[in-house]
Amino acid sequence: MLQFVPEDRKPRLSTSKVLLLLSTAGIVLLSFVPVYELVVFLQSSKGWSESYLNAITEFRIGQGWLITLLLSIILAVAIYLDGSRYIQALYLFLLILTVGFYSHVSTLDLWAGFVLHSIHFLFMSMWAGVLLHVAWFAKDGTNWRRFLAWFTPFALFCVAAVIGSGIVIMFFFVAPTDYANSWALPYGQLLLLKHVSIIPVLLAALINGFLNKKKVFQQAWLKVESILLLIVFVFTAFMSKQAPPHDVNDTLRIEGGGWLVEELAGPLSIPLTAVMDWTLNGLLLMGLSLLLLTLMLAGFSRQLNAWLSFLFSIGFIISFYVGLMLNLSF
């Protein structure tokens, strides 16, 4: 995307063809992990070669990886030969569509799931991609004001699209009435942590986009925002490995409760009914979490080290999550 932005409207960036090629290879290798897990499962009754062949040709996840491999090879060749930015953008867009078409939500509703996941992944990639590149590869603050003039409204639009599509996708797996009940399950615990961790990301984005009145280039704060965003991705990755609670009570019977649920919220009983059961420790921890968010803002206004505010953000996620669970009973 940054290739389409005029040079006078973005910072000077260090570019590396080797890194781009390694990133393209990473798409192939990392997207192969679920296929390998499927092969290991199939190998118990078949040989390795037959298991690989079956996984890639007979299962959606394998077919999706095969298309990903072919598109990535073409993209790598285009990058290596300094091909047209339009060609590179086309094949990257096709890779995103492949992710959407072979996503979990598309197995529930093919075309609606395909469109929703593609939109979700596309706008997340554009927002996070520009953020990560500028945060870690900008040489200096050249053209910083002109960059913010277009990136701030663009990021707002992307975030709105990501959140909106994400909420709709979530309702494919968790009914709105079961949202709090799902917190008793491993999937729901990670979903809760993901949603809680989004809050400091949005606060960091607010600081970088709006509260920086002088529009000064503060690369450390961009790095803080990017790492907080990566934490959201980590929770999303672990969440994708858990059984989604289409029926919360049935999933609880089969999968069992989340890791810390009974230690924090007490015993679980079927049918699940999440209710707020306020406790002193829970209220104190939630109050502490709000204080930590305030300190994150204060750290910026006082020009303290940005990484101190990053620690405040991590403290917010932990204290809010533990405090909320202490105030819940099922």
For residue 157, the one-letter residue type is F
Quote the mean pLDDT of the chain.
Answer: 92
Going by pLDDT thresholds of 50, 70 and 90, the confidence category of residue 330 is confident
Terminal Cα-to-Cα distance of the chain (whole angstroms): 47
Digit-coded pLDDT (tens) for 66-116? 999 999 999 999 999 999 999 999 999 999 999 999 998 998 999 999 999
Angle at 168 between CA 65 and CA 193, to 5 degrees: 80
Question: Within 13 A of 160's CA, how many CA atoms are on the CB side?
Answer: 6
Of the two residues 241 and 19, the one the predictor is more confident about is 19
The answer, yes or no, to whether residue 46 has pLDDT greater than 80, is no
Q: Name the percent of the chain in helix, strand, coil, to the closest 5.
A: 75, 0, 20
State the pairing for strand pair 328-329/275-276.
antiparallel
Q: Tokens 């709006």 appear where?
A: 210
Instruction: Give the Cα separation of 122 and 158 in Å (integer).
Output: 9
Judge whether 34 and 61 are in contact, CB under 8 Å.
Answer: yes
Q: Residue 199: which pLDDT band, with cuts at 50, 70 and 90?
A: very high
Cα–Cα dist 167/178, whole Å? 14
**What is the SS3 assignment for 237?**
helix
> How many angstroms separate the CA atoms of 103 and 110, rounded?
9
User: Which alpha helices (H) appear in 102-214, and where do they start and end?
Assistant: 104-108, 110-137, 144-173, 186-206
Closest listed residue to residue 190, CA positions, set 237, 227, 228: 237
CA–CA gap between residue 30 and residue 289 (Å, rounded): 35
Q: Can you give the pLDDT at residue 242?
A: 87
